Structure 1
Amino acid sequence: MIPEAPASAPLATAVEEVEELVPDDAWQVLALVAAAALAAWLVGVLIGVLVRRLARRSVVAGDLSRRGRTPLRTLLVLIAVTIVLDAGPQLGGWRDPVVRGLGLALVATVGWLVAVAVQVTADLALARYDVDVVDNRHARRVRTQIGLLRRLAIVLVAVVTVAAMLLTFPTARTAGASILASAGVISIVAGLAAQTSLANVFAGLQLAFTDAIRVDDVVVVEEEWGRIEEITLTYVVVHVWDDRRLVLPSTYFTTTPFENWTRKESAVLGSVELDVDWTVPFDDMRAELHRLLEGEELWDRRVSVLQVTDAVGSVVRVRVLVSGKDGPTLFDLRCHVREGLVGWLQREHGRGLPRVRVEELPGATGRHGPVAAPLPAGPTEGASLFTGSSEALERSRAFTGPSGAETADRDTAPGPRS
């Protein structure tokens, strides 16, 4: 009869396996790791408190504290844990993979902090250029360039961070030479495969540094009026006047003609055209235009002109030129002037509205008055196609044959008949 094993035998076996995996001094190391992580976290909190106090007098410090709080604390904790594990004794086969993972996380966190620094630096530069002014052309150009450079810098930081993480592996360092050797072929293949994307990237950089368009520029593209809302490395977003967004590739603005109403300055001219009757007094109409613009805040007091540009047929065309500080203001001003002049015509010169004149021929009478006599349905007797000379009569006989009189004379003339 086999004696039964005590119930505590499996538990004892598990404890022995854990002791083999985790030596006796490993628990002390793990406790030290936890203490170091907690201390590093507290140091990060203390640094955050100090930076927030400085942020009361510095906007940059406040932005840096808000964006960099989490990556800074994470970086301090990773550094502390890595130092403790590297300085500790051999804790089994799991320490090296953990240290390798901590090293990768450390490199990624450093890249995170660099990206935060790029963001804060870009915000600091943007804060120096205010676009809420009348002439903001230079500010909008600088903000466009800074926005594109910020995106490009973040992309470069991400690429460098990934490359640094890969170089921590010995196999990646060994393969680096062959990768660099084949970089020329790879670049050619990648260029052919991503030709359109690369063209958009270079077009975006060209737009940023040639000052062709800027953020908040007023443009007319694809027969749509709107403002440049965003410029990226590959596409441009146009905020159309009815709150739609028109997304166009960057190459569109380097290969297609378009209108930029704020290329040099935001002030623009606009026209209002009206068709009126010949009896309208234009001096009074000019006086009414000046009265409409005199106390109007939409008018920038640069241009106010009323001209007669055409006088053909039954109407006279009048064109009014006015100026505004920017495109939206000018649109509202044109609507105001158009409505005011139409109302003035209705009130003061009702007969000056466009009319169609009909002149009746005298002599005939009808239901409502004289009417013109109907034209003859065909040619009258003796009429010919060409008259006035002997040559004309010969041409008429060639086209229509002899006239009735000539035929009668020939029939009555003496002589032999067939």
Structure 2
Amino acid sequence: MKTEFLALLTKIRHLFGWLPGLLSSILMLCVAGLVAEMFSRFITKLILRIPGQKRGAFVRSFTMAMQRPVRIMLVIVFVGTALPVSGLPYDIMQATMHTLVVLFVLMLGYAAVVATRILSDAYLKRINGKDDKDDILLRTHMTQVRVLRRTTDLLIGLLTIGAALMTFEPVRQYGLSLFASAGAASLVVGLAARPLLTNLFAGMQIAMTQPIRMEDLIIINGDWAWVEEITSTYVVLRVWDWRRHIVPISYFLENTFQNWTHNSAALIGVVFLYVDFNAPMDRIRERLREIVHSAPLWDGKEFAVQVADCNAHVMTIRVIASARSAMQSWDLRCEIREQILAFLRDECPEALPRDRISHVASVSGLDVMGDPGMLSPPVKRPPPGAYMGPRSGTSGGGMSMTDGGQGHG
């Protein structure tokens, strides 16, 4: 087939023989690229006709995403095959061939990145179709796929650029000299790229060991935050008020943090109530049981009411209730507080906390509270509407006080 193709291109070149040699060669190469374009479109249409709801749909979507890089690579291959019979000068043909090789390597790396993304997105779409969004296995697979995909993209990019640069003779000689002095070169490169390599290996370790996963709820710097994105170098954390923490990925291997959804999304929420010693515990406990059992956010597993502590003023009631997730636990605790406070205010006001003051007489028999000498003297206030005018011998308009309207300070 190659021989027939070259013979066809030679005939086409002879058809343009009346043109200048360089122009006829360029037109022949353009014809070769056009043939590659038509062949690619024909193959694409055939593949898009493959039937099927699942596998056929995946093959069609994969073909649509890959058609651009594959089409460009086919054009490069056809044009490169036609170069020997193009009649171009040797130096121009060599430069054109080198350019085509570099383009082919770059497009091959691009096609590899696109294929990796298509396969990973298809896998994520399939596992995201599950109803249980809090499934640990689901979030584990999402984390592994996304982290490994970004790492793969980075490695493919480095290998592609390296392979393209190695096609240049000076760069190839430099690469060989680096291999010859591998000890010093590896030390210099390792020191220069230490942060990048640290985060890169940390990302791979996180993908394998899973200290954090996508949509995990963690506590960092006193904030609730969900793991929104894990890249090869950093992690994006979404706070409840839509703020974002950008944290280096190595942080999660070098520091301690709280992960509330590591093994399960379910949590036990705690509510503390501070009530008076006269609070009827039986009624309060029964009312709390009614509140929790009727709450749709309660998962039906854990519930308890206990007097956890007391001091000189109040006693502390601890209420625990479990929920399916951290946000549902937060909402459940808010609902418990609202309903039990309304119950105490309306039906058990004696349970509300209060301060007690007891007056005890002194040992000497002198009652400080009853001794007039220890109290402030009465204040003489004028009767309502009384105004005596300015005092004599003073400047300014002051008010004089009368003996009426005595009050106690």
TM-score normalised according to structure 1 size? 0.77
| Alpha-carbon distance in structure 1 between the residues aligned to 2:45 and 2:97 | 30
Is this contact kept in 2: 1:270–1:321, CA < 8 A?
A: yes
Summarize the alignment of residues 238-387 of structure 1 with structure 2, pairs less than 5 Å apart. 238-361=237-360, 372-373=369-370
Q: Secondary structure at the match of 2:301?
A: coil
More moved, 310-319 vs 122-131? 122-131
Q: Which residue of 2 aligns with 1:94?
A: 92
Letter in 2 for 1:338: R
Is this contact kept in 2: 1:111–1:161, CA < 8 A?
A: yes
Summarize the alignment of residues 148-163 of structure 1 with structure 2, pairs less than 5 Å apart. 148-163=147-162
Letter in 1 for 2:93: R
Larger C-alpha radius of gyration, 1 or 2?
1
| Alpha-carbon distance in structure 2 between the residues aligned to 1:185 and 1:55 | 58
Q: For the structure 1 residues 141 and 303, does the alpha-carbon distance in structure 2 shift closer, same or farther, using more than 3 Å as the test?
A: same
Summarize the alignment of residues 6-405 of structure 1 with structure 2, pairs less than 5 Å apart. 24-54=20-50, 57=53, 58=55, 59-91=57-89, 93-130=91-128, 132-133=131-132, 135-361=134-360, 372-373=369-370
| Alpha-carbon distance in structure 2 between the residues aligned to 1:23 and 1:172 | 39
Give the C-alpha shift of residue 70 in structure 1.
1.4
- Work out the number of aligned pairs and report it: 350
Q: For the structure 1 residues 65 and 374, does the alpha-carbon distance in structure 2 shift closer, same or farther, using more than 3 Å as the test?
A: farther
Q: For the structure 1 residues 189 and 316, does the alpha-carbon distance in structure 2 shift closer, same or farther, using more than 3 Å as the test?
A: same
Letter in 2 for 1:78: I
Structure 2 gaps, min length 5 = 1-17, 375-409
More moved, 248-257 vs 118-127? 118-127
Q: For the structure 1 residues 145 and 177, does the alpha-carbon distance in structure 2 shift closer, same or farther, using more than 3 Å as the test?
A: same
Give the C-alpha shift of residue 43 in structure 1.
2.2
Q: For the structure 1 residues 132 and 215, does the alpha-carbon distance in structure 2 shift closer, same or farther, using more than 3 Å as the test?
A: farther
Give the C-alpha shift of residue 201 in structure 1.
2.4
| Alpha-carbon distance in structure 2 between the residues aligned to 1:147 and 1:88 | 46
Give the C-alpha shift of residue 39 in structure 1.
2.1
Q: Secondary structure at the match of 2:186?
A: helix
Give the C-alpha shift of residue 371 in structure 1.
6.8
Q: For the structure 1 residues 293 and 53, does the alpha-carbon distance in structure 2 shift closer, same or farther, using more than 3 Å as the test?
A: farther
Letter in 2 for 1:43: F
| Alpha-carbon distance in structure 1 between the residues aligned to 2:290 and 2:352 | 20
Deviation readout 1:64-97 (Å, 9 max, x if unpaired)? 1342121122111222222222332234753332
Letter in 1 for 2:78: A
Deviation readout 1:328-348 (Å, 9 max, x if unpaired)? 111111111111111111111
Letter in 1 for 2:120: A
Give the C-alpha shift of residue 322 in structure 1.
0.8
Is this contact kept in 2: 1:144–1:215, CA < 8 A?
A: yes
More moved, 267-276 vs 62-71? 62-71
Q: For the structure 1 residues 263 and 324, does the alpha-carbon distance in structure 2 shift closer, same or farther, using more than 3 Å as the test?
A: same
Instruction: Give the percent of matched residue pairs that are identical in Structure 1 and Structure 2.
Output: 32
Q: Which residue of 2 aligns with 1:410?
A: none
TM-score normalised according to structure 2 size? 0.78
Deviation readout 1:204-244 (Å, 9 max, x if unpaired)? 22222112111111100111101111122221111111111
| Alpha-carbon distance in structure 1 between the residues aligned to 2:109 and 2:147 | 19
Runs of 4 or more above 6 Å deviation: none
| Alpha-carbon distance in structure 1 between the residues aligned to 2:275 and 2:38 | 81
Give the C-alpha shift of residue 253 in structure 1.
1.2
Q: For the structure 1 residues 79 and 290, does the alpha-carbon distance in structure 2 shift closer, same or farther, using more than 3 Å as the test?
A: same
Is this contact kept in 2: 1:361–1:372, CA < 8 A?
A: no
| Alpha-carbon distance in structure 1 between the residues aligned to 2:97 and 2:176 | 26
Q: For the structure 1 residues 114 and 175, does the alpha-carbon distance in structure 2 shift closer, same or farther, using more than 3 Å as the test?
A: same
Q: Which residue of 1 aligns with 2:381?
A: none
